[in-house]
Amino acid sequence: MSESKIERLISEDGIRCDGRRLDEIRPIKFQLGVLKNTDGSAYVEWGRTKILVGVMGPRESHPKHLALSDKARVEAYYRMASFSVEEWKSPAPSRREVELSKVIREALEPAIFVEFFPRTSIDIFIEVLQADGSTRCASISAASLALVDAGIPMRDLVASIAVGKVEGKLVLDVQDKEDKAGESDMPMAYMPSKNAVTLLQMDGQITHEEFMQSIELLKKGCMEVYRKQKEAIESHFKGAVSNGEEA
C-alpha cells in the first residue's frame, strides 16, 4: 500500500481524525436517575460510547459468608452488550469483562465510606450499550454518579480519562480507532479534591518525559470530566427540587 493511501490519525497541524486537538476531550453528557428499579443510576454518552449504570445497596450481603465485618463489600459487574461493537460479541462474560469489573471496583472503592456499612454489599452494574473506546474510564465516571444518586456517602467523585500515544504524539481521551492503532494507552481515575489517584494503568512504551507529560494531561482531562459530573449532579437535584415544588 502506498503511503498516500495510509489513513493518518493526526494531521500535520495536530488535528485528530475526529476533528479534535491533541488535548481535547470528546463531548460528554451525564444523566442521573435514569432507572426506576435501582437505588441509584446514571447514563453517559461519551462521544459515541454509551453506558448505563445501576447501583444496588447498601443492602444485606448475600451469600452471608462473604460479608465483611468491618465494611461494605463493593462489587462491580462490567458487561458489553452483544451489539455494542462492530463485530457481534458473544453474550458470555469475557476475560476482559471480568478483568475490567475488578479494575472498576478497585478504582471506585477508595472513594466510598465503606466503613459506614459493615456486613452489607454495594453492587454496581455497568452495561456498555455502544463502545467507541475508553469504556473503562466512562464506566468509572458514570458509576461514581450512580453512587451519588443512590445516596452513598463518598469522599469525592471519581473522574477518569485516558491518554494515548498515537503516531508519536500524546493525545487525550482516546477513541477506539486511536486505541487500536496507538503505541500506548494510559487510563487514570482521580479524586480531584483529594488529589488522589485511584487507578493508573499503562499499555505500551513511553519515555519518562512522556510519562510526566501524560500525568499532566490526565489531570487536566479528569478536571474537565469532574466539572461535567458536578454539573450533572446540580442539574439532577435542582430538577428534583423543582418537581417537588410543582407537586
Q: What is the mean pLDDT of residues 83-100?
A: 85
Q: Please tell me the distance from the alpha carbon of residue 168 to that of residue 175, in angstroms, as a whole number.
A: 16
pLDDT exceeds 90 at position 106:
yes
Q: What is the pLDDT of residue 227?
A: 98
Q: What is the mean pLDDT of residues 154-167?
A: 97
Q: What is the mean pLDDT of residues 159-184?
A: 94
Banded pLDDT at 155 (limits 50, 70, 90): very high
pLDDT exceeds 50 at position 4:
no
**Is-contact 44 28, C-beta < 8 A?**
yes
Better-predicted residue by pLDDT, 59 or 66: 59
pLDDT exceeds 70 at position 2:
no
**Domains within the chain, CATH numbers bracketed:** 20-242 (3.30.230.70)
Helix axes 95-108, 135-149, angle to 10 degrees: 50
Banded pLDDT at 3 (limits 50, 70, 90): very low
pLDDT exceeds 90 at position 147:
yes
